[in-house]
Amino acid sequence: MTDQDKQSVTTVFDQVAGRYDNPSMRFFPFCADRLIHHLRPAPDAKILDVATGTGAVALAAAQVLGPNGRVQAIDLAENMLNMAMANIQRAGLSNVDFHVMDAESLEFKSRYFDSVTCSFGIFFLPDMLAGLTSWRQVLKPGGRVMFTTFSANAFHPLAELFRQRLETFGITIPTENWMRLTTEQECQELLESVGFTKTQVIKEQLGYHLNQPEDWWEIIYSSGFRGYLEKLDAEQLGRFRVEHLAEIQSLMTNKGIWLDVETLFSTGVRHN
Ligand SMILES: C[S@@+](CC[C@H](N)C(=O)[O-])C[C@H]1O[C@@H](n2cnc3c(N)ncnc32)[C@H](O)[C@@H]1O
C-alpha cells in the first residue's frame, strides 16, 4: 500500500460514513462487543481506539469504563468520526475524545495507554509492522494491544463472486487490504516481531444469514468494497448490480444467505 492508497481509503470511508451503521453490517458492533469482552479493561483504563470508524469499539469500551476511565478514538476519515461522535452522544456517554489522526503517526505520549484496540483497521496501514510498533510505544509496560482482522474464509463465497463479476467488467482487484492478515500464524508473527509477549490469537465466527441479496449490496455499497464500484459508470453499475445480485440470489437457502464473518482477535502485552 502506498500513501496514495491511504488517501483513497480515507476518501472511500468519508463517502460511506452515512450508511456504515446499517443492520446488514451488524458484525462491526458484534465484534466490538466481543473485543471488549476479551480485553476486560479495568474501570479506570485509558484506551486508544485506532481506526475507530463510527466508534463501535470506542462505544463498547466507554460503556464498561468507570468515571476515571477514558477512550481516545482516532481515524483519518472525518465523516466517520462525526458519525462516531453522534453515536457516543446518543448513548449518553461523555468519556470519549475524538481526533483526526493517522494510525501510523500517533500524537500521544509514550507509555500512556493501558490498552490499544483496533477493529478491522490494521490491514489498511501501508506498513503494519511500523504501525503496530508505534502502537506499542504508547502502551504502558503491562499494557495490552488487541486488534481484529478477517480470516481468509470471511465473506466466502460472496467476495469471490464480487471479484469475478468485476473482472468481467474489466476491473481487476489487487490483493484486498483485508486479505493481508488472515491467518493465526501471520497475526502471531506480527505481534512477536514487534516484541509483544503473552501473545494469543482467538478465532470466532461472527457470521449470520442475510435476508435478501440487497443486504449484500448494502454491505458492498457501505464499506471499503465501494471503491471498486466507483470505477463503473452509471450504466455499468446498473448492469453489474443486476448480474451480481442474481448470482448472490442463487446462494439463498431456507435460512437466508450465509454471511461468513470468521474473525481473528489478536492480542499481546508490552512487557517493558
Ligand atoms: C473497516 S473500518 C473499521 C471501523 C471500526 N473500527 C469498526 O470496527 O467498525 C476501517 C477504518 O479505518 C480507518 N483508517 C484506515 N486507515 C487509517 C489510518 N492510516 N489511520 C487512521 N484510520 C484509518 C478508515 O477511515 C475506517 O474508518
State percent of the chain over pLDDT 70: 99
At residue 197, does pLDDT exceed 80? yes
Q: Among the listed ranges 19-28, 61-70, 73-82, 221-230, which one has the minimum average pLDDT value?
A: 221-230
Residue whose Cα lies nearest atom 15 of ligand 1: it is 124
Q: Which mutation among 75, 85, 135, 181 tests ligand 1's pocket best, with the greatest number of atoms within 8 A of CB?
A: 75
Q: Where is 193: in which H helix or E strand?
A: helix 184-194
Alpha-carbon torsion angle 147, 178, 4, 25, nearest 10: -80
Where are the chain's structural domains?
3-152+177-207+261-269
Q: Is the CB of 75 under 6 A from ligand 1?
A: yes
Contact 96, 58 (CB under 8 A): yes
The per-residue pLDDT for 8 is: 87
pLDDT band at 2 (very low <50, low <70, confident <90, very high): low
3-state secondary structure at position 113: strand
- pTM of this prediction? 0.96
Please state the atom number of ligand 1 nearest to the C-alpha of residue 31: 8
Q: Is the CB of 80 under 6 A from ligand 1?
A: yes
As a whole number, the mean pLDDT across the chain is: 95
Looking at 3.40.50.2300, 3.40.50.150, 3.40.50.880, 3.40.50.970, the CATH number of the domain 3-152+177-207+261-269 comes to 3.40.50.150
The per-residue pLDDT for 3 is: 72
Beta strands in 7-56 (DSSP E): 46-49
The per-residue pLDDT for 237 is: 96
Instruction: Select from 172, 117, 142, 161 the least CA-distant residue to 257.
Output: 161
Q: How far is Cα 230 from Cα 238, in angstroms, rounded to an integer?
A: 12
Dump pLDDT digits (tens) for 146-181. Answer: 999 999 999 999 999 999 999 999 998 877 788 889
